[in-house]
Amino acid sequence: MHGPDPDTLYPLAGYDKLIFLKHFVKASNIMIGDYTYFDDRRYGPDKFEENNVLYNYDFSKNRLVIGKFCAIAAETRFIMTGDHKLDAFSTFPTSFSPAIAIGWRICVDHWGKGYATEGAKAALEYGFSKLQLKEIVATCAVENAGSRKVMEKIGMKYDPENDFTLPNVPIENKMSKCVLYRITKKEWENRANNPSPFCRIQYCKNP
Protein backbone atom coordinates (compact mmCIF):
# COMPACT_ATOMS: atom_id res chain seq x y z
CA MET A 1 0.00 0.00 0.00
CA HIS A 2 1.37 3.39 -0.97
CA GLY A 3 0.61 6.75 0.63
CA PRO A 4 0.53 10.20 -0.93
CA ASP A 5 3.63 11.54 -2.62
CA PRO A 6 5.39 13.98 -0.20
CA ASP A 7 6.64 15.98 -3.15
CA THR A 8 3.09 17.08 -3.94
CA LEU A 9 1.60 20.13 -2.25
CA TYR A 10 -1.68 18.53 -1.18
CA PRO A 11 -2.05 15.02 0.30
CA LEU A 12 -5.71 14.84 -0.72
CA ALA A 13 -6.55 15.51 -4.34
CA GLY A 14 -9.10 18.30 -4.75
CA TYR A 15 -8.74 19.62 -1.17
CA ASP A 16 -6.40 22.60 -0.85
CA LYS A 17 -6.88 23.27 2.89
CA LEU A 18 -4.66 20.34 3.84
CA ILE A 19 -0.99 20.68 2.87
CA PHE A 20 2.35 19.00 3.20
CA LEU A 21 3.80 21.78 5.31
CA LYS A 22 7.43 21.66 4.15
CA HIS A 23 6.49 23.23 0.81
CA PHE A 24 5.04 26.36 2.43
CA VAL A 25 7.74 27.26 4.97
CA LYS A 26 10.43 29.69 3.87
CA ALA A 27 12.40 30.43 7.05
CA SER A 28 15.79 28.72 7.06
CA ASN A 29 15.56 27.91 10.79
CA ILE A 30 12.32 25.92 10.42
CA MET A 31 12.70 22.30 9.34
CA ILE A 32 9.63 20.21 8.49
CA GLY A 33 9.52 16.45 7.94
CA ASP A 34 8.40 15.06 4.57
CA TYR A 35 4.97 13.76 5.58
CA THR A 36 4.01 16.36 8.21
CA TYR A 37 0.74 18.01 7.28
CA PHE A 38 -1.23 21.04 8.42
CA ASP A 39 -4.91 21.93 8.02
CA ASP A 40 -6.29 25.41 8.68
CA ARG A 41 -9.69 26.12 7.19
CA ARG A 42 -10.03 29.61 8.65
CA TYR A 43 -6.95 31.46 7.41
CA GLY A 44 -5.53 28.98 4.93
CA PRO A 45 -2.67 26.58 5.68
CA ASP A 46 -0.21 28.64 3.63
CA LYS A 47 -0.32 31.22 6.48
CA PHE A 48 1.41 28.82 8.91
CA GLU A 49 4.55 30.93 9.41
CA GLU A 50 2.52 34.12 9.84
CA ASN A 51 -0.10 32.80 12.25
CA ASN A 52 1.48 29.81 14.00
CA VAL A 53 5.17 30.66 14.43
CA LEU A 54 5.50 33.61 16.79
CA TYR A 55 8.48 35.96 17.29
CA ASN A 56 10.72 34.30 14.73
CA TYR A 57 12.97 37.32 14.26
CA ASP A 58 15.90 37.43 11.87
CA PHE A 59 18.38 37.63 14.75
CA SER A 60 16.96 34.59 16.55
CA LYS A 61 19.35 31.69 17.05
CA ASN A 62 16.51 29.25 17.74
CA ARG A 63 15.40 26.47 15.41
CA LEU A 64 12.05 24.79 14.98
CA VAL A 65 12.34 21.13 13.98
CA ILE A 66 9.13 19.21 13.31
CA GLY A 67 9.33 15.48 12.72
CA LYS A 68 8.58 13.40 9.63
CA PHE A 69 5.07 12.16 10.45
CA CYS A 70 3.27 14.95 12.35
CA ALA A 71 -0.25 16.32 12.16
CA ILE A 72 -0.38 19.93 13.36
CA ALA A 73 -3.63 21.41 14.64
CA ALA A 74 -4.73 24.83 13.38
CA GLU A 75 -4.52 26.38 16.88
CA THR A 76 -0.95 25.22 17.53
CA ARG A 77 1.48 28.06 18.31
CA PHE A 78 5.28 27.85 18.35
CA ILE A 79 7.04 30.58 20.36
CA MET A 80 10.49 30.97 18.92
CA THR A 81 12.72 33.58 20.46
CA GLY A 82 14.27 34.06 23.87
CA ASP A 83 17.21 36.07 22.60
CA HIS A 84 16.45 39.40 24.24
CA LYS A 85 19.61 41.17 25.37
CA LEU A 86 19.61 42.50 28.93
CA ASP A 87 22.08 45.26 28.11
CA ALA A 88 20.43 46.59 24.95
CA PHE A 89 18.91 50.03 24.50
CA SER A 90 15.16 50.02 24.96
CA THR A 91 12.97 51.20 22.10
CA PHE A 92 10.57 52.40 24.80
CA PRO A 93 12.54 54.61 27.22
CA THR A 94 10.94 55.16 30.62
CA SER A 95 11.70 57.26 33.66
CA PHE A 96 12.83 54.15 35.55
CA SER A 97 15.00 52.54 32.88
CA PRO A 98 17.42 50.89 32.65
CA ALA A 99 15.83 48.24 34.84
CA ILE A 100 15.41 44.49 35.14
CA ALA A 101 11.74 43.49 35.19
CA ILE A 102 9.90 40.27 35.94
CA GLY A 103 6.52 39.37 34.49
CA TRP A 104 4.02 36.57 34.09
CA ARG A 105 1.23 35.53 31.76
CA ILE A 106 -1.15 32.82 32.94
CA CYS A 107 -4.02 31.21 31.03
CA VAL A 108 -7.41 32.31 32.35
CA ASP A 109 -8.27 28.75 33.42
CA HIS A 110 -5.39 28.86 35.91
CA TRP A 111 -5.95 32.28 37.47
CA GLY A 112 -6.29 32.42 41.23
CA LYS A 113 -4.27 29.28 41.90
CA GLY A 114 -1.07 30.95 43.06
CA TYR A 115 1.07 30.02 40.05
CA ALA A 116 2.03 33.61 39.24
CA THR A 117 2.98 34.31 42.85
CA GLU A 118 5.16 31.21 43.15
CA GLY A 119 6.83 31.87 39.82
CA ALA A 120 7.47 35.51 40.71
CA LYS A 121 9.00 34.51 44.05
CA ALA A 122 11.36 32.13 42.27
CA ALA A 123 12.30 34.85 39.77
CA LEU A 124 13.14 37.26 42.61
CA GLU A 125 15.25 34.65 44.37
CA TYR A 126 17.17 33.90 41.19
CA GLY A 127 17.66 37.57 40.39
CA PHE A 128 18.89 38.57 43.82
CA SER A 129 20.74 35.41 44.88
CA LYS A 130 22.20 34.16 41.60
CA LEU A 131 22.51 37.32 39.50
CA GLN A 132 23.13 39.65 42.45
CA LEU A 133 20.82 42.33 41.07
CA LYS A 134 20.33 45.45 43.16
CA GLU A 135 16.71 46.00 42.23
CA ILE A 136 13.90 44.31 40.29
CA VAL A 137 10.76 45.97 38.95
CA ALA A 138 7.42 44.84 37.54
CA THR A 139 4.77 46.64 35.55
CA CYS A 140 1.15 46.06 34.58
CA ALA A 141 -1.96 47.95 33.53
CA VAL A 142 -3.51 50.17 36.21
CA GLU A 143 -6.69 48.08 36.16
CA ASN A 144 -4.90 44.72 36.39
CA ALA A 145 -5.83 44.04 40.00
CA GLY A 146 -4.65 40.42 39.85
CA SER A 147 -1.09 41.26 38.84
CA ARG A 148 -0.91 44.14 41.29
CA LYS A 149 -1.93 41.76 44.06
CA VAL A 150 0.86 39.36 43.04
CA MET A 151 3.41 42.18 43.16
CA GLU A 152 2.28 43.15 46.64
CA LYS A 153 2.34 39.53 47.83
CA ILE A 154 5.99 39.14 46.87
CA GLY A 155 6.96 42.32 48.69
CA MET A 156 7.08 44.85 45.87
CA LYS A 157 6.04 48.43 46.53
CA TYR A 158 3.99 50.65 44.24
CA ASP A 159 5.92 53.65 42.90
CA PRO A 160 3.21 56.13 41.77
CA GLU A 161 5.74 58.71 40.57
CA ASN A 162 6.69 56.36 37.74
CA ASP A 163 3.25 55.60 36.31
CA PHE A 164 3.49 55.65 32.52
CA THR A 165 1.48 55.33 29.31
CA LEU A 166 2.33 52.78 26.64
CA PRO A 167 3.23 54.27 23.25
CA ASN A 168 1.24 53.29 20.15
CA VAL A 169 -1.74 52.23 22.29
CA PRO A 170 -4.89 54.38 22.06
CA ILE A 171 -5.30 56.40 25.23
CA GLU A 172 -8.89 55.20 25.59
CA ASN A 173 -7.65 51.61 25.77
CA LYS A 174 -7.69 50.51 29.42
CA MET A 175 -4.35 48.74 28.91
CA SER A 176 -2.53 51.94 27.95
CA LYS A 177 -1.99 53.28 31.47
CA CYS A 178 0.49 51.30 33.53
CA VAL A 179 1.94 51.22 37.03
CA LEU A 180 5.40 50.37 38.36
CA TYR A 181 6.26 48.22 41.35
CA ARG A 182 9.80 47.70 42.63
CA ILE A 183 11.81 45.89 45.28
CA THR A 184 15.49 46.18 46.23
CA LYS A 185 17.81 43.34 47.18
CA LYS A 186 17.95 44.61 50.76
CA GLU A 187 14.16 44.74 51.02
CA TRP A 188 13.95 41.20 49.64
CA GLU A 189 16.56 39.93 52.11
CA ASN A 190 14.75 41.58 55.04
CA ARG A 191 11.50 40.01 53.94
CA ALA A 192 13.13 36.58 53.56
CA ASN A 193 14.63 36.81 57.05
CA ASN A 194 11.43 38.10 58.64
CA PRO A 195 8.50 36.41 56.92
CA SER A 196 4.95 37.37 57.73
CA PRO A 197 3.42 35.14 60.42
CA PHE A 198 0.62 34.43 57.96
CA CYS A 199 3.10 32.99 55.45
CA ARG A 200 5.00 30.61 57.71
CA ILE A 201 4.67 26.88 57.24
CA GLN A 202 4.76 24.71 60.34
CA TYR A 203 5.72 21.09 60.03
CA CYS A 204 4.20 18.83 62.68
CA LYS A 205 5.13 15.28 63.55
CA ASN A 206 2.42 12.67 63.68
CA PRO A 207 1.27 12.03 67.26
Domain range summary for the chain, segments of one domain joined by +: 18-79, 85-207
Predicted pLDDT of residue 194: 67
Could you give the percent of the chain with pLDDT greater than 90? 44
pLDDT level of residue 199 (50, 70, 90 thresholds): very low
State yes or no: pLDDT of 82 exceeds 60. no
State yes or no: pLDDT of 3 exceeds 90. no
Determine the average pLDDT of the residues in 61-83. Answer: 84
Against a cut of 0.85, is the pTM above it? no
State yes or no: pLDDT of 140 exceeds 90. yes
Residue 122: what are its φ and ψ, rounded to 5°?
-65, -40
State yes or no: pLDDT of 185 exceeds 70. yes
Predicted pLDDT of residue 86: 52
Predicted pLDDT of residue 35: 92
Bridge partner residues of 177 (DSSP): 165
Predicted pLDDT of residue 202: 40
Classify domain 85-207 at the CATH topology level: Aminopeptidase (3.40.630)
